[in-house]
């Protein structure tokens, strides 16, 4: 097991770029493979999660050239061009891979099996398996189809109108992907808008997708036409360095080329409400996604209440938001965030443990937590629970702790941010 020890640092200054967006990178492989023609991708995130998706599509007969530095050439096979994989498809730690592919594979004319690592095999799959079954999908799995491995016998599908109980882009995208193979209109309603990268990228590939207040629809039988893609920097990765610059006194960081899609930029709004100084510079658009450079200056943060529609817009950033809350003046209350219990690990329990080790007073609830800001974080030894975002959030807290922080099980950061440790070294040396 790999461990890292991180010490407090003086002011962080300079310019960085973070790796490509994980969600968009997954979709570039999936939609590029389903498109007719050749798609060139720049800025692809070569993290373990995305490589799981890439390997799965190679196993289904798609030629994907990797030219280094995030440059890919995908030779799309068309919506009906995938081949039966000879072996089980291993999704590793990636929820996006297994859930989106469940929808896609349900409508093929072949058999496939999806599995993943010890963490993924514990995560709930009923949220996609149940609506897909309503479309006629034949999916079986452990615990009555609620857990991976999932065995999928592809078959003809019917369209569905689905009211999702959770605001989840993975659920929405799985149903939309299955909907491409069903005759007629498939519609997904969700309680709050989740990230809309699938909708944007499908449109970029020429598919007619209708977004309306509360939901999204598409008609089955449409083709995807190859189109080049530029993947912006991942706001979820940038979030670690945004919080770092805010909490380490005297810091100023320019983070270049960050995706600021409004369904993902909750972390910026939340940290600004906490009095964080984050300036959006040079806002522009890249392949249907809004992008900006972020100028972050250290600030005295204040506790706030977080809930409602801001939660899905920042769902992956709560571990590092809880570090910001620990360094803030006053109390921060996080509500409506029950989804955190079923991420790569139970992130409410994991962050409460980490913060308690650092001497922060925390109370947990089923759907969130209350964090009482404290003057100095204590440092100590914590465990990532195999969750990349818990490991990286703990490292950020270490930057202003009064003792070293040792993090056990840090290998997991490779799933989403392979050069995290190097970047952390670079900005603080």
Tell me: does residue 194 bind ligand S3P (CB under 6 A): yes
The verdict on whether 310 is a catalytic residue reads no
d(CA 85, CA 113): 9
Tell me: does residue 52 bind ligand S3P (CB under 6 A): no
d(CA 87, CA 408): 33
Q: In whole angstroms, how close is the CB of 251 to ligand S3P at the nearest point?
A: 27
Binding mask 317-356 for ligand S3P (x = CB under 6 A): ----------------------x-----------------
Cβ atoms of residues 355 and 326 within 8 Å: yes
d(CA 356, CA 95): 28
Give the CA distances from residue 279 to residues 242, 323, 414, in Å, rounded to whole numbers and listed in that order. Answer: 11, 21, 29
Among 77, 102, 112, 168, binds ligand S3P (CB under 6 A): 168
Cβ atoms of residues 407 and 379 within 8 Å: no
Catalytic residue among 49, 316, 387, 409: 316
How many other C-beta atoms can be found within 10 angstroms of the C-beta atom of residue 39? 26
Q: How many helices (H) and strands (E) does the chain have?
A: 13, 24
Sole window of 64-72, 165-173, 348-356, 400-408 interacting with ligand S3P (rule: CB under 6 A): 165-173
Q: In whole angstroms, how close is the CB of 21 to ligand S3P at the nearest point?
A: 9
| Closer of 102 and 168 to ligand S3P (Cβ) | 168
Helices 420-427 and 235-247, axial angle in degrees (round to 10): 30
Cβ atoms of residues 169 and 196 within 8 Å: yes
What is the strand order of the sheet 277-286 is part of? 13-17, 252-259, 289-297, 277-286
| Closer of 192 and 273 to ligand S3P (Cβ) | 192
| Closer of 234 and 409 to ligand S3P (Cβ) | 234
| Closer of 293 and 339 to ligand S3P (Cβ) | 339
Among 23, 39, 93, 217, binds ligand S3P (CB under 6 A): 23
| Closer of 75 and 367 to ligand S3P (Cβ) | 367
Tell me: does residue 169 bind ligand S3P (CB under 6 A): yes
Number of residues that bind ligand S3P (CB under 6 A): 12
In whole angstroms, what separates CA 226 from the centre of its chain? Answer: 24
Tell me: does residue 387 bind ligand S3P (CB under 6 A): no
Catalytic residues: 316
Binding site for ligand S3P (CB under 6 A): 23, 26, 96, 168-170, 173, 194-195, 315-316, 339
């Amino acid at each position: 097991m790999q461990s890292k020890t991180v010490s407090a640092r003086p002011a962080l200054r300079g310019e960085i770029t973070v790796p490509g967006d994980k969600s968009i990178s997954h979709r570039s492989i999936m939609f590029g493979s389903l498109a007719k023609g050749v798609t060139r991708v720049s800025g692809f995130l070569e993290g373990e999660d995305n490589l799981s998706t890439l390997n799965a599509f190679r196993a289904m007969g798609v030629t994907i050239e990797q030219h280094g530095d995030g440059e890919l050439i995908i030779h799309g096979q068309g919506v009906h061009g995938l081949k039966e994989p000879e072996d089980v498809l291993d999704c590793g730690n990636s929820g996006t891979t297994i859930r989106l592919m469940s929808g896609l594979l349900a409508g093929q004319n072949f058999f496939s099996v999806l599995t993943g690592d010890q963490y993924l095999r514990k995560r709930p799959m009923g949220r996609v398996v149940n609506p897909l079954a309503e479309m006629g999908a034949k999916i079986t799995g452990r615990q009555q189809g609620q857990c991976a491995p999932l065995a999928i016998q592809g078959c003809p599908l019917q369209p569905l109108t689905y009211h999702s109980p959770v605001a989840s882009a993975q659920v929405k995208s799985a149903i939309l992907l299955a909907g491409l193979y069903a005759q007629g209109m498939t519609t997904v309603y969700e309680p709050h808008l989740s990230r809309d990268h699938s909708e944007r990228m499908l449109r970029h590939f020429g598919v007619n997708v209708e977004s309306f207040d509360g939901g999204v629809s598409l008609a089955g039988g449409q083709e995807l036409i190859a189109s080049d893609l530029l993947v912006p920097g991942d706001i979820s990765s940038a979030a670690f360095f945004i919080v770092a610059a805010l909490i380490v006194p005297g810091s100023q960081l320019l983070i270049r080329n960050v995706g600021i899609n409004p369904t993902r930029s909750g972390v910026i709004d939340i940290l600004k409400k906490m009095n964080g100084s984050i300036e959006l510079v040079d806002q522009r658009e890249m392949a249907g996604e809004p992008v900006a450079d972020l100028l972050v200056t250290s600030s005295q943060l204040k506790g706030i209440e977080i809930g409602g529609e801001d939660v899905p817009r920042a769902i992956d950033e709560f571990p590092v938001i809880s570090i910001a809350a620990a360094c803030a003046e006053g109390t921060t209350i996080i509500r409506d965030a029950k989804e955190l219990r079923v991420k790569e690990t139970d992130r409410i329990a994991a962050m409460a443990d980490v913060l308690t080790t650092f001497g922060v007073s925390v109370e947990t609830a089923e759907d969130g937590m209350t964090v009482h800001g404290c003057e100095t974080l204590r440092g100590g030894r914590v465990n990532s629970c195999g969750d990349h975002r818990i490991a990286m959030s703990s490292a950020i807290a270490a930057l202003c702790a009064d003792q070293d922080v040792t993090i056990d099980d840090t290998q997991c950061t490779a799933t989403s941010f392979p050069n995290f440790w190097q970047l952390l070294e670079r900005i603080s040396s």
